[in-house]
Structure 1
Amino acid sequence: MRTWLPLFVIVALISAVAWFAESPPPELLGKQPTPRQYNRAPDLVIRDARTRHFNLEGNLAYRVDAERITFFQFARRDRANLKEPRILFYQGDQPRWRTESRSGVAHNNGERVVLRGEVHINELPEPGGIVLDTEKITIKPRQEYAETDKLVTIAAGPNRTQGKGLRAFLKQDRVEILSEVESTYETQ
């Protein structure tokens, strides 16, 4: 009987440890997050992010670089918070437009990107292209389209145009200011 007792104790301990590891009591797990808290936790954080996006022909369409991307996945949508995002749009194999801002939010896998805080959009190559400044703008990168209802300033060399609201068709190099337009031009 003595020879079976240590073996029985060891088997019982191993079984107890395996059961405990598979289903520990709730007291040892700590406080469980509520569904609302769970949805606020990021699914992924990327520092010094660099992404590349290609068109249907396989050519580089645009790239997005950011100091940090914090990604959240929800039941029906996703969101990525961007810190200091930079988007570079290509036409052919050359960069054509560059955007920069303090922060941004990309919705639904980047279908719509809202940039905020000192937004600058530069036509490339520099110098010589136009520079567009605003506080907030919504960009649809796949359509190469941007719009805002905020105050916008467009500069091309010494010439300046300011107005409220904007639609920019980046692929066609066309920009429309919607209202309250004021311009100053320098003649040579």
Structure 2
Amino acid sequence: MKERVPGLVAIFLLTVLVASTWWAAGYTQRAVQVEPPARTTHEPDAWAQNFVMVRTDPAGDAVNRLEGEYMVHFPDDDSYKVTKAKAVGQRAGSPITVGTSDTAVMDKNGNRIVMTGHAHLHRLPDKDRPALDVTSQQLTLLPNDDVAFTDLPALIVNGHSTMRGKGMRYDNKTRTLKVFSASDVKISGQDSVTRPATKKTETKP
């Protein structure tokens, strides 16, 4: 019997140790509050006044510039919201374009700028072409492609000629302008011409 006592004591102590460990682990889990997973919300993490962002090409030459009175950055989609926005495109070999609007959102790594509220795109004139102006409630600029478009009603003024349409796409590289559902086309020196609502007009202004 005496020979079994040490073994029984060892088993008892081991049982107490296991039970104590189990109790301590449970107590720790109950005592320590585990934070819930962080929620991803569309909240700003940075802001700036008199904001200016310049993008350059591989040679270091400026090709696009976005500026505004106030900027807010949202980390969830890496977008920038700019008030009183001004977007300038100045790629070599293409006419300079200037877009303005009440607000603008730049996202997709700077590959898209959605300009909203009194949106206006102005292409500066050169020796071969007059100025081109496009106004709409919203214009989308694709800086990498040097393209501007809208699905909303737009007014296009090319020199002394005007055109209204619902939907427009302008490629600044090829100088190609497409106006969808064109109407009230007024060519300088000619009378007003009204075209069918389904007509698509393509020109090189």
**TM-score by shorter chain over 0.5:** yes
Task: Tell me the equivalent position of 1:23.
Answer: none
Cα deviations by residue, 1:49-100 (Å, 9 ceiling, x for unpaired)? 11111123332111111111100111xx322111111011113288611000
Aligned residue runs from structure 1 range 12-51, under 5 A: 35-36=38-39, 39-51=41-53
Give the Cα separation in 1 of the matches to 2:152 and 2:72. Answer: 26
**Residue 182 of structure 2, aligned match among 180, 183, 187:** 180
Cα deviations by residue, 1:144-165 (Å, 9 ceiling, x for unpaired)? 1122110111112331111110
Kept in 2, the 8 Å contact 1:59–1:92? The answer is no
Give the Cα separation in 2 of the matches to 1:85 and 1:93. Answer: 25
Letter in 1 for 2:163: T
Give the Cα separation in 2 of the matches to 1:146 and 1:156. Answer: 15
Cα 1:93/1:144, change in 2 over 3 Å: closer
SS of the equivalent of 2:90 reads: strand
- Alignment: residue pair count: 153
Aligned residue runs from structure 1 range 102-117, under 5 A: 102-117=102-117
| Structure ID, larger Rg | 2
Task: Tell me the equivalent position of 1:132.
Answer: 134
Letter in 2 for 1:98: V
Cα 1:161/1:93, change in 2 over 3 Å: closer
Kept in 2, the 8 Å contact 1:164–1:180? The answer is yes
Using the size of structure 2 for normalisation, the TM-score is: 0.67
In structure 1, runs of 5+ residues without a counterpart are 1-31
In structure 2, runs of 5+ residues without a counterpart are 1-34, 191-205
Give the Cα separation in 1 of the matches to 2:47 and 2:102. Answer: 17
Task: Tell me the equivalent position of 2:196.
Answer: none
Cα 1:55/1:187, change in 2 over 3 Å: same
Structure with bigger helix share is 1
Aligned residue runs from structure 1 range 58-77, under 5 A: 58-74=60-76, 77=77
Kept in 1, the 8 Å contact 2:95–2:172? The answer is no
Cα 1:60/1:94, change in 2 over 3 Å: farther
Letter in 2 for 1:122: H
Give the Cα separation in 1 of the matches to 2:95 and 2:87. Answer: 10
What is the aligned-residue identity percentage? Answer: 22
- Note the C-alpha offset of 1:115: 0.7
Task: Tell me the equivalent position of 1:84.
Answer: 84
Letter in 2 for 1:89: G
Letter in 2 for 1:87: A
SS of the equivalent of 2:44 reads: coil
Kept in 1, the 8 Å contact 2:122–2:134? The answer is yes
SS of the equivalent of 2:96 reads: strand
